[in-house]
Chain A
Amino acid sequence: MADNNQKDPEPKVGVYICHCGGNISDHVDVAKVAQEAEKLTGVSVAHTNMFMCSDPGQELIQKDIKDGKINRVVVASCAPSLHELTFRSAIKRAGMNPYLYDHANIREQDSWVHHGDPATEKAVALVAAAVSKARHLEPLEPIRVDARNHATVIGGGVAGLRAALDLSRRGIQVALVEKSPFLGGRVAHLNRVNPTGEKAADLIRPLAEAVCNDAGIQVYTCSRVVRFEGYVGNFKLGLKRQPPETPEDLAKLEKWAESGKKEGDYLPFAGYYPQKVPNTAEETEISTGAIVFATGFKTYEPRKGEFGFQENPEVIPLPAFIEAVAKEKPKGGTLTLNGRPIRRVAFIHCVGSRQIPGLHEPDDQGNLNEYCSRTCCSATLQAAIEIREAFPETRVLEYYRDIRTYGRGQEDQYERAADHHVLFFRYEPEAPPVVERAAGGTYPLTVTVKDTLTFGETVEAGVDLVVLAVGMEPNPIQDLIEMMKLPVGADRFLQEVHPKLRPVELANTGILLAGTCQAPMDMGEACNAAQAAAVKAATLLSKGYVELDPFVAKVNEEKCTGTGACVSACPVEAITLKEAEHQGKKIQRARVNPALCTGCGICVAECPNNAIDVMGWTLKQYEEMVDAIVAA
């Protein structure tokens, strides 16, 4: 085998063009691209394959490397974000430096947007550019930085508690940061959980106790992350612990005081109270290797007038209803709330979920919740069944679009609700139920709906109470999103790198996702996500170091004159001026901290002496690419 790690005086480029099933080859004449590639300077072989990312595809590259045919690789396929790593590791396994490789994106940037001859022509040009760059690639080594065996979990709801406990059991020191005085998050605001019927208290209390009794976990309640710096393995977080001030926290503390409970206990609809609240604000700093986001959700706040909300005291959101009912002793007969008998209750589904542009009114910021909140159907059915079982004289009416009892045991709940004579009405989003004050009669409100279950008949029903099954919205964490520059989706939830390839990772290396900060989930799903995030953090930190891509700025000390232009241009403060001695004189030279550098290239543009370059993406390589595109 040729020693491929030495800079070869004569680059021999192998070009591998992927059909991607038909994703590419339906629009790009891949055989022609291969033919044209073979004519390019420095290309020794050009192959096509149905799926380059498959094992046979990868073996094609490895065989050419081992046979000494090639010492540079160009793969023309999908976006590099998908498979750059796949091909780099294949090249590495064949004994070649994995950075002697360039990727031409002929799917997202070509076959998915162009068709016919222009698509093939563009593929030829992109491949030519990649080949030109590949000819000037030099072997690189990944940057290795020490990683602290410590992780920080932000959010003390069920996902955060679950992740913290798993990380600690894996031998990783954990800081759990919760903004409120209580642990347990939204689950602590439930009575029973669907579909098992377990008491939320019986689930959250032991979990929170396990976390608080774990010597490896430091719990910080009433705390927020206010400063952020560093990189994977070596983040520094500033924490501010301060006396509670939000109305919600103060109300819960009041409830807590009334209960007479001590620290280390649980109060339904407040949560687990691990430690006294601080009297004064204090700041601390923690050094941590990985960050798990478990910042959770808040429930949708209906607009004034939406299904009569805030215009009629008898219209309340589902969480308020669950809390109110939990206080009532089941005694048969009719449910009474605040001394008022509830003979009939109407549940309206999809409030603040599945909103349709043009039909629903956006909120103040112009947002619509177009997504399904996933949990409201089963939560509503759970509430309906509990009422029918405890207060059989109270009738339940449900107004829905689609019943989404998808989970294990949930379809049985739906059937149980029907067995309990819950009445179902189905509406179209164009004709939602109308809630109005009744003009006299026995019920304070009427609900009117065009019911598609009875072939579009208009059905009017008098009710004592309307409960809105409100959806989920991500908790407002704009400060953290801006501080850490986190990617957010169109739905405003945090956005993973890829839903299947890297489902619990953010593009920011070392920052992971757990639970409903990513998307609506039920409790079990949130715990799965939390454990998946924990296992990724454990993998990241278990070696004691992390390897980063070497695509970082490097200073040419011969050309650098110490102008400092790069230092002031660098957005992440990765460059400093260092004193050095040159021919007996003290001089200033730029120095890059590779662990902090993101390879953005701003310094390259700023340097008046062309003395700084990004490895793997040098100016010379760019020039070659542009020349190749112009020539193609």
Chain B
Amino acid sequence: MQTHREMNFDALVVGGGIAGLQAALDLADQNFKVAVVEKDASIGGKMIRLSKVFPTLDCASCITTPKMAASAHHENITLFTYCDLKSISRESDTVLAARVVQKPRYVEADKCIGCRQCEYGCPVHVPDPEQGNFSMRKAIYIPFSNAIPQIALMDVENCSLCGKCAKVCPTGAVNYFQQPEELVIRAKTAVLATGFRLTPLDQKPEYGKGKILNVISSLDMERLLAPHGPYQRVLRPSDGKEPDAIAYVQCAGSRDKTLGVSYCSRVCCMYAIKQAMLLSGALPLADITIYYMDIRAFGKGYEQFFQNAKAMGIEFVKAKIAKIEQADNQSVRLRYEDQEGAGAVMEREHDLVVLSLGMVPEWHPEGICPVGCDTDAFIRTPMSRLSPTLTDMEGVFVAGVAAGPKDIVDTIAEAGAAAMEASNYLNKLNKKAAA
């Protein structure tokens, strides 16, 4: 490690998604100093990568970017992006210490002005995971159009070391020799807002282990539907055909003990319905079918949203999909038991199939932070009924999907709750110190 910096804050927030940002804002607005540590190169989490959000159909960017900008410009918030959290430990009765490694971007953050000249100049094209790998990005790039901060980073695995980016950079920010930097962030309290990832697409043998053409994940579909998505329209990936028949397979990664995910992921019904609605706008002639076990539209306005989708002509079929296979013409065949008819085994083909995958924790605290997890692998909340954001470690709180699957509305409320607990904990420490 080349350098080492130590800093003090009132609160540390781990994760710069919507939960972390809301908790940070609610703390900072009360004049507490907050550090936000984010592993990605941009804050915004999963939410900024979505197309639109249920049940209002607001564009996700319209709702996320103001909170991102407000955090980035808040005088009491310091963002640490592209950072790995190595450990959080209790240093004393009043201090938690986090060891964090700033990963090298190979671009000096204080020099980069986000002009993208390096990106335009770079000759290397690689699939862009931010766009579901449907389109390409360069080997040096700004993460995505509304990323914060707008600082380029280099993908060293794919860089050809041609030197072009360094040549075109107007501020000399490209630094091929940049080293990781170790930071020690001390704070009195911490909020864990580490979020989720989708259950893997290739997990289930009956569903083709990710090998079947035109079977995509629900987050891939978010990209296809996003206004600044890979194709700017909905095309199926294998051949660029506009799909006429699209199917959703619900509970593809949830309520399934064989996958080790016995719980409900809580958002998949609603995001499938939302995507189906957006698809019927983008492809008015397409047939859209949702295969489901139970529709769980339980939030404010959600049931009405579901009923609207039915009225729009989206087909809902009560069935657990038993098998997914490749059919002719790169179509996808679904096999299921017809519950509404006589119970016969049915087969139907669709041009494009979306697996409504579930949520698993993005981050596991073992060996990093001594908070406990439950059997579902999410962080344990021992007082879930009265103080849902308490963990089993004093002074450490949890918000959002880190404490179990949740939609955005519930996540934002919980982030506010975690901020309330953290501020009262800070208050208590400050009172003790004054006494």
Nearest Cβ on chain B to A33's Cβ, whole angstroms: 18
Q: With A and B bound together, what is the CA distance between A89 and B75 in angstroms?
A: 13
Determine if B153 is an interface residue (Cβ-Cβ < 8 Å).
no
Q: Which residues of A contact B133 (CB under 8 A)?
A: none
A170 touches B386 (CB 8 A): no
Determine if B198 is an interface residue (Cβ-Cβ < 8 Å).
no
Determine if A58 is an interface residue (Cβ-Cβ < 8 Å).
yes
Specify which of B53, B65, B70, B419 lies most central, judged by the most chain A CB atoms within 10 Å of its CB.
Answer: B65
Indicate with 1 or 0, residue by residue over B215-233, a CB within 8 angstroms of chain A CB atoms: 0000000000011100010
The closest CB in chain B to the CB of A54 belongs to: B146
Nearest Cβ on chain B to A491's Cβ, whole angstroms: 8
Indicate with 1 or 0, residue by residue over B283-318, a CB within 8 angstroms of chain A CB atoms: 000000000001111111111100100000000001
Determine if B384 is an interface residue (Cβ-Cβ < 8 Å).
yes
Indicate with 1 or 0, residue by residue over A482-519, a CB within 8 angstroms of chain B CB atoms: 00000001010100001111011000000000000011
Other A-B pairs, 14, CB within 8 Å; known A56-B145, A501-B67:
A20-B59, A54-B146, A55-B65, A55-B149, A56-B150, A412-B262, A500-B53, A500-B63, A500-B412, A519-B300, A525-B413, A528-B414, A532-B416, A532-B420
B residues adjacent to A (C-beta < 8 A): 26, 29-31, 53, 55-56, 58-59, 61-63, 65-70, 72-73, 114, 145-146, 148-150, 226-228, 232, 255, 262-264, 266, 294-304, 307, 318, 339-343, 374, 376, 378, 384-389, 403-405, 408-410, 412-417, 419-421, 423-424, 427-428
The 5 closest A-B pairs by CB, nearest first: A21-B227, A532-B416, A531-B417, A54-B146, A519-B300
A371 touches B307 (CB 8 A): no
Q: With A and B bound together, what is the CA distance between A21 and B225 in angstroms?
A: 11
Q: Which residues of A contact B53 (CB under 8 A)?
A: 500
Determine if A153 is an interface residue (Cβ-Cβ < 8 Å).
no
Given the interface contacts A21-B61, A54-B146, A411-B263, does A86 sit within 8 Å of B384 by beta carbon?
A: no
Q: With A and B bound together, what is the CA distance between A367 and B389 in angstroms?
A: 36
Determine if A619 is an interface residue (Cβ-Cβ < 8 Å).
no
Q: With A and B bound together, what is the CA distance between A415 and B376 in angstroms?
A: 15
Q: Which residues of B contact A171 (CB under 8 A)?
A: 427
Q: With A and B bound together, what is the CA distance between A407 and B342 in angstroms?
A: 33
Say which one of A248-256, A289-297, A389-397, A448-456 lies at the interface with B: A448-456
Q: With A and B bound together, what is the CA distance between A57 and B388 in angstroms?
A: 37
Say which one of A331-339, A535-543, A574-582 lies at the interface with B: A535-543
A residues adjacent to B (C-beta < 8 A): 19-23, 50-51, 53-58, 78, 82-83, 85-86, 89-90, 93, 158, 162, 166, 169-171, 193, 196, 198, 203, 207, 353-354, 356, 370-372, 374, 402-412, 415, 452-453, 455-456, 489, 491, 493, 498-501, 503-504, 518-520, 523-525, 527-536, 538-539, 542
Nearest Cβ on chain B to A52's Cβ, whole angstroms: 9
19 contacts between A and B (CB under 8 A): A53-B61, A54-B148, A82-B62, A158-B386, A169-B424, A370-B304, A402-B294, A404-B298, A406-B264, A407-B264, A411-B255, A415-B262, A491-B300, A503-B412, A525-B413, A527-B386, A535-B26, A535-B420, A539-B26
Given the interface contacts A411-B264, A524-B385, A528-B410, does A54 sit within 8 Å of B61 by beta carbon?
A: yes
Q: With A and B bound together, what is the CA distance between A531 and B423 in angstroms?
A: 11
Nearest Cβ on chain B to A614's Cβ, whole angstroms: 26
Kindly count the residue-residue contacts between A and B in the assembled complex, taking CB atoms under 8 Å apart.
Answer: 230
The closest CB in chain A to the CB of B42 belongs to: A55
Q: With A and B bound together, what is the CA distance between A23 and B226 in angstroms?
A: 10
Q: With A and B bound together, what is the CA distance between A407 and B263 in angstroms?
A: 8
Q: Which residues of A contact B419 (CB under 8 A)?
A: 535
Nearest Cβ on chain A to B255's Cβ, whole angstroms: 6
B72 touches A55 (CB 8 A): yes
Report whether over half of chain B's contact residues are helix, strand or loop; otherwise say mixed: loop
The closest CB in chain B to the CB of A540 belongs to: B29
Nearest Cβ on chain A to B345's Cβ, whole angstroms: 13
The closest CB in chain B to the CB of A207 belongs to: B386
Q: With A and B bound together, what is the CA distance between A57 and B145 in angstroms?
A: 10
B299 touches A528 (CB 8 A): no
Q: Which residues of A contact B298 (CB under 8 A)?
A: 372, 374, 404, 406, 520
B65 touches A525 (CB 8 A): no
The closest CB in chain A to the CB of B261 belongs to: A411
Nearest Cβ on chain B to A613's Cβ, whole angstroms: 31
The closest CB in chain A to the CB of B428 belongs to: A169
Nearest Cβ on chain A to B152's Cβ, whole angstroms: 13
Given the interface contacts A51-B145, A54-B65, A539-B26, does A500 sit within 8 Å of B408 by beta carbon?
A: yes
Q: Which residues of A contact B301 (CB under 8 A)?
A: 371, 489, 491, 499
Nearest Cβ on chain B to A154's Cβ, whole angstroms: 19
Specify which of B146, B148, B417 lies most central, judged by the most chain A CB atoms within 10 Å of its CB.
Answer: B417
B146 touches A50 (CB 8 A): yes
Q: Which residues of A contact B424 (CB under 8 A)?
A: 166, 169-170
A51 touches B61 (CB 8 A): yes
Q: Which residues of A contact B30 (CB under 8 A)?
A: 535, 538-539, 542
Q: Which residues of A contact B405 (CB under 8 A)?
A: 408
Nearest Cβ on chain B to A195's Cβ, whole angstroms: 9
Given the interface contacts A54-B145, A528-B388, A528-B389, does A403 sit within 8 Å of B410 by beta carbon?
A: no
Nearest Cβ on chain A to B194's Cβ, whole angstroms: 16
Q: Which residues of B contact A370 (CB under 8 A)?
A: 303-304, 307
Specify which of A58, A90, A402, A500 lies most central, judged by the most chain B CB atoms within 10 Å of its CB.
Answer: A500
